[in-house]
A and B are shown apart, each in its own frame.
Chain A
């Protein structure tokens, strides 16, 4: 059996759970076996009913007051118990910040393999290999998990499309699984989540974005990108290192830790295309990359590319637009 661990927060399903179900349906088509979806929390009935629309054998609920707020100790204890009872061949999860926080602990506690940030599944002879980026996306690896089952796999956000999920003819049955979680053994005490500053800029609504990366070299050069943005009627945005350095405010950051955008035009200046950035912008309709490195991963998803010095090319574009 292939087990999908769905993610929810305060009774709201994280949409990436659907992507993981698509991955599970692909894996089941390759190796056979049923799919079960597990959702854990204090009260997850509504989320479980929503998940039951997928064509899966069952939706398993794991409920405990100790799982009200996410903690690595609480979730590891509950899921360790559930996985031991269910004995799956694979445990599949979305590669979210929450999963990154507990999945290595859970896999280590069970002494099992964990493959993270996976983008696809392949047959490799008698084995099943999982594809994942390495070296900042410069290389891709087909990786085979070693040792006894279950094998844990987390899927990169966007690796599968939500609209590809196969729905069942009727709702899948729900089953409540009883697990033991000792609330007094949870060492982490979380406080409520908050937003640092009200996001004054909503880049998700922008039609055009000019985005800058490390290739801009210094703060003074941001002005060049700003001029291009003005000429194109675009918002200015940046990859994480630029915002870390304080060259543009954090609210202008695109990527897994910043905003997710899908403009008509995304023009990437000196952005290499680390995966954390790509997940935030790969829904853009037209992507233009300008970079001096012809092997930069950004060119893998760009529609148009110019290999060269952005300090020569950007002024020429501004001139050409006029």
Chain B
């Protein structure tokens, strides 16, 4: 089975946001980056499917030159080769542009199965996988917690809200968006890291004439909805004061 995994490089969880001068995007140069967490689960699922069914895993990423870091990491974990759609404009691209760029680079490969995370930890559109499926003319399913791929057909477990699930069958080729927690992630071994250096990364460009369908008019630190009463002091003082307020002000503990 020929499996594609679309991964995105996003700011780390510890990153403290800083805005650019016109307050429409972040200061990229101040950020540290990592693999989008749901995409890491998609990669792990692809590696497990390859171990079971054979074939190859091709990691695809659309972004500026810095994205090479997460591509190398995916190769070190076991992906066979990579496609890097490289363009500085992709750093802040919307889901339409990102999925059009990926679709153009992936079209000719005719993947049997394409996996990606259900959404990214940066812009959080939750759209790229589904739009990619539409652009490639393929069926899809989202928020997947189990994948069964046997002899040309696919059966997947979709997560619904509130603890409900549903199995859905569909023909291959198809696109799935993967939920975090579907599997246990592996880490790259030293051997994997060495092997990754020799693996192919094909560079692709962005198709001409793509324009975004949404424009960020302003980006800012959220306005606080509630006035949080911050309690300071030593741990013992803060704890004592908190308990007092929960008893006397909020009256929520005995």
Q: Does A96 contact B (CB under 8 A)?
A: yes
Residue of B nearest to A129 (CB): B217
Distance of A68 from chain B, by nearest CB (Å): 14
Residues of B near A192 (CB, < 8 A) are 166
**Do A142 and B216 have beta carbons less than 8 Å apart?**
yes
Q: Would you call A127 an interface residue if the criterion is a C-beta within 8 Å of the partner chain's C-beta atoms?
A: yes
A295 vs B230: C-alpha distance when bound (angstroms): 12
CB–CB B226/A300 < 8 A = yes
For residue B252, which residues in chain A have a CB less than 8 angstroms away from its CB?
A: 208, 264-265, 285-286
Q: Are the C-beta atoms of B162 and A304 separated by less than 8 Å?
A: no
**CB–CB A101/B163 < 8 A:** no
Residues of B within 8 A of A136 (CB): 13, 121, 124
A193 touches B (CB below 8 Å): yes
Query: Is B208's beta carbon under 8 Å from chain A?
Result: no
Shortest Cβ gap from B235 to chain A (Å): 4
In the assembly, what is the distance between CA of A134 and CA of B25, in Å? 11
- Please, how many angstroms separate the alpha-carbon atoms of A210 and B167 in the complex? 33
Nearest-neighbour CB distance to chain B for A130, whole angstroms, equals 9
Interface residue SS majority, chain A: mixed
A306→B225 CA distance, assembly (Å): 18
* A141→B168 contact, CB < 8 A: no
Question: Which listed residue (B180, B213, B235) contacts A113, Cβ 8 A?
Answer: B213
8 contacts between A and B (CB under 8 A): A190-B166, A194-B165, A233-B254, A295-B17, A300-B226, A302-B228, A319-B239, A320-B240
A57 within 8 A of B: no
CB distance from B210 to the nearest CB of A (A): 12
Is B141 interfacial (CB 8 A cutoff)?
yes
Q: Does A163 contact B (CB under 8 A)?
A: no
* Residue B147 CB within 8 A of the other chain: no
The 10 A-B residue pairs with the shortest CB-CB distance in the complex, in nearest-first order:
A244-B181, A316-B239, A113-B213, A104-B130, A187-B139, A312-B235, A265-B252, A104-B127, A320-B243, A191-B167
- Interface status of B57 (Cβ within 8 A of chain A): no
From A114, A144, A233, A317, B242 is in contact (CB under 8 Å) with: A317
Q: A97 contacts which of B95, B161, B181 (Cβ < 8 Å)?
A: B161
Docked Cα-Cα span, A214 to B13, in Å, equals: 11
A268 CB to closest chain B CB (Å) equals 12
B116 within 8 A of A: no
| Structural contact, B219 and A141, CB atoms closer than 8 A | yes
Whether A299 contacts B228 in the complex (CB less than 8 A), given A257-B161, A317-B239, comes out as: yes
B190: interface (CB < 8 Å): no
B235/A135 in contact, CB under 8 A: no
Number of B residues contacting the other chain (C-beta, 8 Å)? 79
Interface flags, A113-124, vs B, CB<8A=1, else 0? 111110000001
The answer to whether A140 and B220 touch across the interface, beta carbons within 8 angstroms, is yes
From A100, A134, A232, A259, contact of B142 by CB (8 A):
A100
Q: Is the CB of B222 within 8 A of A316?
A: no
In chain A, residues 180-206, which have Cβ atoms closer than 8 Å to a Cβ of chain B? 187-196, 199
Q: How far is the CA of A15 from the CA of B220 in the complex (A)?
A: 31
Q: Which of A72, A108, A145 contacts B139 (CB 8 A)?
A: A72
The answer to whether B253 and A100 touch across the interface, beta carbons within 8 angstroms, is no
Cross-interface CB contact of A135 among B122, B162, B215, cutoff 8 Å: B122
What residues on B are CB-neighbors of A297 within 8 Å?
A: 222
CB distance from A8 to the nearest CB of B (A): 14
CA distance A208 to B254 in the complex (A): 11
Tell me the bound Cα distance from A187 to B174 in angstroms.
Answer: 10
How far is B139's CA from A189's CA once the two chains are assembled, in angstroms?
Answer: 11
B240: which A residues are within 8 A, CB to CB? 316, 320
Check: A243 CB closer than 8 A to any chain B CB.
yes
**Chain B residue at minimum C-beta to C-beta distance from A99:** B126
Residues of chain A contacted by B16 (CB below 8 angstroms): 295
Q: Which of B167, B216, B231 contacts A143 (CB 8 A)?
A: B216
Q: Give B211 Cβ to nearest chain A Cβ, in Å.
A: 7
Interface residues of B in 199-233 (CB under 8 A from A): 211-226, 228-232
A305-B161 in contact given A112-B213, A140-B222, A317-B239 (Cβ < 8 Å): no
